[in-house]
């Protein structure tokens, strides 16, 4: 059975740009099984942690880096059996600094993994949630 999640994004500033910044976006999305309720996990620096498998359909994901000093790399992965060949990755496409968060839809057939900053070589705690697009 499909369920609905209401998303809200608000950003305001009087000093970040020449013009006053004021964004207020609201959108309802339909989601279904499988899903992962908001959870926290430790992300290692020596091995990536898979969050969305390459076998998944379109999947909404929320990730927040709750670490106070380390960043995480968000990577897309492509199943090598799907014609990815040498280009299967993983490829970093986002960097979440301490306290940063992101929300987006992972395209079907692409996977998603995260890894803590390998230079500091210390794990990070992230908060995340996963919902399949209905």
| Whether residue 118 has pLDDT greater than 90 | no
Walk me through the domains of the chain, giving residue ranges and CATH numbers: 3-10+31-133 (2.60.120.10)
pLDDT digits (tens, 9 = 90+) for 80-104: 655 545 555 678 989 999 999 999 9
What pLDDT is recorded for position 99?
97
Do 21 and 9 meet the contact criterion of CB atoms below 8 Å apart? no
First-to-last alpha carbon distance for the chain, in angstroms, is: 9
Q: What are the helix (H) ranges across 8-129?
A: none
| Whether residue 130 has pLDDT greater than 90 | yes
Residue indicated by tokens 């992972």: 106
- Token representation of residue 36: 């992962």
pLDDT digits (tens, 9 = 90+) for 34-69: 888 999 999 999 999 999 999 999 999 999 999 999
In 1-134 the beta strands, taken as DSSP E runs, fall at: 3-13, 21-43, 49-52, 59-65, 72-78, 91-96, 101-106, 110-116, 124-133
Residues 66-78 have a mean pLDDT of 92
Integer Cα distance of 126 and 99 in angstroms: 9
Chain-wide mean pLDDT for the chain? 90
What pLDDT is recorded for position 17?
83
């Amino acid at each position: 059975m499909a369920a609905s999640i209401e998303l809200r994004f608000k950003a305001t500033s009087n000093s970040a740009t020449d013009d006053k910044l004021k964004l207020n976006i609201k959108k309802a999305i339909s989601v279904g099984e499988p899903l992962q309720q908001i959870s926290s996990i430790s992300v290692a620096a020596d091995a990536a942690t898979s969050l969305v498998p390459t076998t998944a359909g379109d999947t909404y994901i929320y990730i927040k880096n709750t670490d106070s000093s380390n960043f995480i790399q968000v990577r897309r992965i492509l199943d090598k059996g799907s014609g990815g060949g040498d280009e299967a990755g993983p490829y970093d496409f986002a960097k979440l600094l301490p306290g940063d968060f992101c929300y987006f839809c992972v395209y079907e057939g692409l996977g998603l993994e995260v890894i803590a900053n390998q230079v500091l070589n210390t794990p990070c705690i992230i908060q995340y949630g996963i919902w399949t697009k209905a």
